[in-house]
Structure 1
Amino acid sequence: MKMVTMGLLLLLSLASCSDSKVFLFPVESSSAYVYLIPKKPLNLQAFTLCMRVATEIWGNRETILFAYRTQDADELNVWREKDGRLSLYLRSSKRGALFALPMLSTLSTHLCVTWESSTGTTTFWVDGHRSLPKIYGRGHYVHPNGAVIIGQDPDSYLGGFSKSQSFVGEITDLHMWDTVLRAGQIKKLYEKQYDAPTGNVLNWNSLQYRVYGNVVEKYKSEA
């Protein structure tokens, strides 16, 4: 019994350590971003994207939360709109799925978005709570061979950044899957349960990345 207990404590310790990294974007910038290296190409007919976000951005300003761009197009972007709504755009900068949800703030929010091509069902999750689904991008698929970044919205491949759209705040616990997670799995992620799933496209626990500009990498235990 003691060995089982010790093993469980070790698992809990590993889980709490592995997700403790935080990227802090302290100020508006046209040069600060993190380039994320996925475990597999983003050749997607479905996905789940989750992260924890805290931001200082207020008022009438759009803010990029996640960007994936190929040489040809903005393939997959997640935004906080000027009016505070959250949005998903697939291969478009004009037509997206917009959701009225609790406002992001300086308090950490666990945010997920799920999408699948066959029905176009698109759903946001905020702190474990599911939004009303919307139908968006039915029959679409996400093209591979692009760049995944946080902190900036690229208007060209790894370029064309705008200070007025940059992210300011903290991002951590970012995971991505090439499937739609079940409600129970997303709840485990929000609650940081030791057996919560980890991403098979982007995995925060074993993330490969490159930092550019004024981005501070820190840990949650640091003051």
Structure 2
Amino acid sequence: MKSVLVLLGVLLPLISSGQSGLTDKGLFFPKPSANSYVQLTPLKPLNLEAFTLCMRLSVDPTVVSKWNRETILFAYCTKDHDELNVWQEYDKISLYLRSSSEGALYVVPLLSIFRTNLCVTWESSTGLTALWVDGRRSTLQVYRKNHKVQSGGAVILGQDPDSYLGDFVEKQSFVGEISDVNLWDYVLTGDQIMNFNEKVWTGPEPNVLNWNTMQYEVNGNVLVVPEKYN
């Protein structure tokens, strides 16, 4: 009996450290922290000359929507660079590709306690970039034309790594709920992005990050929200 308990003690951490698929589930980050995050495993390397990134978000506005706070919404970094980051900072939603100073900035209503469907599209050949909020597209911007997002990094929700998988800053951490994080290596059409607002997604299967099937690892104080709450 003692040997069985010892074996279970070894296996349970392994089971919880790597899981697959979050269909109809969400991730809840209940409070600011410098150690709570979720690492996502892409279906293939993020070697991107175009992309569509979509997610559903709701936040604790008493923390996240303060005028002087930066909050990371999505982070993809290699050992050398922040390759693809999405932020809510001050009064903007911002996309940064291998830069912390030059970004595509959108002045939009801040995230709230109610769920927001957020998508970002970008294409290297033209530099055309857009932000979609609940199915409505922003004005186009030209950003990082002929750039390429490099592979070999880590996808993180909840924290902004200032070094590879480390040096997190509590005042930049995400506080709230994230779900349905999906990434395609091309730009979806407007009609397809508008369908992201529907409970039953009928568009093309995400081919880089697929919320329903990808592996993920939870670290720190993050709760996997059951289907009945979504």
TM-score by length of 2: 0.87
3-state SS of paired residue (1:205): coil
3-state SS of paired residue (2:196): helix
Is 1:141–2:148 an aligned residue pair? yes
CA distance in 1, matches of 2:228, 2:140: 36
CA distance in 2, matches of 1:155, 1:122: 25
CA distance in 2, matches of 1:110, 1:41: 25
**Cα offset, 1:222, TM superposition:** 3.6
- Indicate which of 14, 23, 30 corresponds to 1:26: 30
- Indicate which of 199, 202, 214 corresponds to 1:192: 199
Match of 1:178 in 2: 185
* Within-5 A mapping of 1:1-223: 19-56=23-60, 57-59=64-66, 60-82=68-90, 84-222=91-229
**Cα offset, 1:197, TM superposition:** 3.0
Count, aligned residues: 206
**Cα offset, 1:18, TM superposition:** 6.5
In structure 2, the CA distance between the partners of 1:129 and 1:222, relative to structure 1 (3 Å rule), is closer
Per-residue Cα deviation, 1:130-154 (whole angstroms, up to 9, x for no partner) = 0001000001000000000000000
Per-residue Cα deviation, 1:172-194 (whole angstroms, up to 9, x for no partner) = 01100000000111111112344
Percent identity between matched residues is 56
CA contact (8 A) 2:65 2:110 kept: no
**Cα offset, 1:67, TM superposition:** 0.2
CA distance in 1, matches of 2:218, 2:157: 10
Which sections of structure 2, spanning at least 5 residues, go unmatched? 1-20
3-state SS of paired residue (2:191): helix
RMSD after superposition: 1.4
Letter in 2 for 1:189: F
Runs of 4+ in 1 over 4 A off after TM superposition: none
TM-score by length of 1: 0.89
CA contact (8 A) 1:48 1:176 kept: yes
Which sections of structure 1, spanning at least 5 residues, go unmatched? 1-16
CA distance in 2, matches of 1:18, 1:24: 13
CA contact (8 A) 1:25 1:168 kept: yes
CA distance in 1, matches of 2:118, 2:201: 19
**Cα offset, 1:102, TM superposition:** 2.2
CA distance in 2, matches of 1:36, 1:197: 20
